[in-house]
């Protein structure tokens, strides 16, 4: 379930702001973060950092990650990077949300409890709606319920108490639409029949994606380190299971990373034979600038992760905006056009799709800033 299993390593979505030795203020200046709140409570043991990157478009929304960071600076760098990527994801998806995130320093298996989460909820409450939280690595819907006991500024609570419920079918639908957008740009039609897709990771999003792909008669290969799950999904949808290390060597049209981050790096780019990379995983490129450029040069069309996997965020936004399921799915289907716009800009300006996506997101923020200065 999103967020994902503790065992999955956390890897950067965007370049880390800076190195270990610089001051907090200078780290905030690198990507123009607005605010960082250090939450410290001796009684509950809470040590958290809330980062608000940009609220031009709306309140900052982003998950709460609980992780045993090696140092406070590692925690700060992670939260700065995560919050910035939320700004970009919301901006390019057309949502009226800013970007923010929290990291709680600690081991969620040992250190997480009701009192700590409710204390954290009080800190969020004090921000008066400037920041809204949700699940991320190390937190779940039950934790959001505890936070909800102290503040209304939390999303991703269970459907039974008015939340938007499981985001994974929505996330998978977004990825599916993004894949179709890529096909349309590359081949002039978005037909999946007869196309081959290698789906890495048959977890919650991966399985839903396999289902959609198979319904359209794509040839699907699947890999997972969890062999039981792999066999189960392969059998259920008529996909072909492959050994997880061989996924990069397959001669397929599309590689869909739906497991962990940083699977696209200098080594795997040399192995990949696909025409398109389009999947749900966060932080797919080990180095955004370098590997974005390498993919451009190799002629592999890369759907930037934060654009194609925005279905999860759309689901959360729907909870705040009060949209029904139909409207949520309609918004998610817009990922088709969002991806196409990115690919078009990349082609026209001969820039990587990552740089193109960043430009579109930044333009929306700059445009909306203009209207905020009037009246
Ligand atoms: N769930 C959402 O709504 C959502 C939204 C946006 C982005 N994402 C991203 O999509 C990805 C998948 O999310 P999920 O909710 O399906 O997670 P999940 O934990 O349910 O599934 C991940 C799967 O990947 C497998 N895996 C791990 N390492 C692997 C490897 N080396 N090779 C093959 N398989 C491997 C795991 O065994 C697991 O089955 C994550 O990167 C997540 O950040 C999820």
Enter the ipTM: 0.99
Would you put residue 147 in left (φ > 0), alpha (ψ -120 to 50) or beta? alpha
For helices 353-372 and 288-298, angle between their N-to-C axes, nearest 10 degrees? 120
Domains, in order of start, for the chain: 24-85+98-160 (3.40.50.10860), 168-362 (3.40.50.720)
| The token pair that represents 253 in the structure block | 């049209």
Strand ranges (DSSP E) for the chain? Answer: 35-41, 46-54, 60-67, 98-105, 131-135, 196-200, 219-223, 240-241, 254-257, 276-277, 301-302
**Which residue CA neighbors atom 39 of ligand 1 most closely?**
203
Q: Does ligand 1 lie within 6 Å of residue 201's CB atom?
A: yes
Tokens of 158: 């269970």
pLDDT in tens, the chain (375 residues): 323 333 333 334 455 555 555 789 999 998 899 999 999 999 999 999 999 999 999 999 999 999 999 999 999 999 998 999 999 999 999 999 999 999 999 999 999 999 999 999 999 999 999 999 999 888 988 999 999 999 999 998 888 888 887 889 999 999 999 999 999 999 999 999 999 999 999 999 999 999 999 999 999 999 999 999 999 999 999 999 999 989 999 999 999 999 988 899 999 999 999 999 999 998 899 999 999 999 999 999 999 999 999 999 999 999 999 999 899 999 999 999 999 999 999 999 999 999 999 999 999 999 999 987 767
Dist CA 217 CA 239 (whole Å): 10
Region of residue 287 (phi > 0: left; psi between -120 and 50: alpha; otherwise: beta): beta
CB distance 258 to ligand 1 below 6 Å: yes
Instruction: Please state the residue numbers annotated as binding site.
Output: 201-206
C-alpha 104 to ligand 1 mean position (Å): 21
Indicate the top mutation candidate among 7, 93, 141, 206 to test ligand 1's pocket, ranked by most ligand atoms within 8 A of CB. 206
The answer, yes or no, to whether any atom of ligand 1 lies below 6 A from the CB of 332, is no
Ligand 1, atom 21, lies closest to the CA of 203
| Ligand 1 pocket check for 65: Cβ under 6 Å | no
Please state the length of the chain: 375
How far apart are the C-alpha atoms of 9 and 213, rounded to whole Å? 27
Pairwise CA distance, residues 70 & 236, whole Å: 41
C-alpha pair distances (Å), 300 with each of 206, 245, 268: 21, 20, 12
């Amino acid at each position: 379930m999103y967020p994902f299993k503790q065992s999955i390593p956390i890897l950067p979505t965007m370049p880390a702001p800076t190195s270990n030795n610089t001051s907090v203020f200078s780290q905030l200046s690198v990507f123009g973060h607005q605010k960082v709140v250090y939450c410290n409570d001796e009684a509950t043991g809470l040590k958290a950092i809330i980062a608000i990157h940009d609220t031009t478009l709306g309140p900052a929304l982003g998950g709460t990650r609980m992780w045993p960071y090696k140092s406070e600076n590692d925690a700060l760098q992670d939260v700065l990077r995560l919050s910035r990527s939320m700004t970009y994801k919301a901006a390019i998806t057309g949502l009226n949300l800013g970007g923010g995130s929290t990291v709680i320093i600690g081991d969620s298996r040992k250190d997480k409890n009701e009192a700590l989460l409710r204390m954290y909820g009080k800190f969020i409450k004090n921000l008066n709606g400037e920041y809204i939280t949700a699940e991320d690595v190390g937190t779940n819907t039950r934790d959001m319920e505890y936070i909800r006991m102290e503040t209304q500024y939390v999303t991703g609570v269970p459907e039974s108490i008015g939340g938007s419920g499981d985001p994974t079918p929505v996330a998978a639908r977004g990825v599916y639409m993004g894949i179709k957008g890529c096909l349309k740009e590359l081949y002039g039609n978005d037909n999946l029949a007869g196309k081959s897709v290698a789906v890495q990771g048959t977890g919650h999003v991966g399985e839903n994606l396999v289902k959609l792909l198979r319904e359209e008669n794509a040839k699907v290969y699947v890999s997972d380190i969890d062999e039981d799950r792999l066999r189960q999904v392969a059998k259920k949808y008529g996909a072909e299971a492959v050994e997880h290390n061989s996924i990069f060597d397959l001669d397929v049209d599309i590689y869909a990373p739906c497991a962990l981050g940083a699977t696209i790096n200098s080594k795997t780019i040399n192995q990949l034979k696909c025409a398109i990379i389009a999947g749900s995983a966060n932080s797919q490129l080990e180095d955004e600038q370098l590997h974005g450029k390498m993919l451009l040069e190799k002629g592999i069309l890369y759907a930037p992760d934060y654009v194609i996997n925005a279905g999860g965020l759309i689901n959360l936004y729907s909870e705040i905006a009060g949209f029904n399921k139909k409207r949520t799915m309609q918004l998610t289907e817009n990922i088709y056009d969002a991806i196409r716009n990115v690919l078009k800009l990349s082609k026209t300006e001969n820039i990587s799709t990552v740089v193109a996506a960043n430009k579109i997101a930044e333009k929306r923020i700059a445009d909306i800033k203009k209207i905020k200065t009037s009246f």
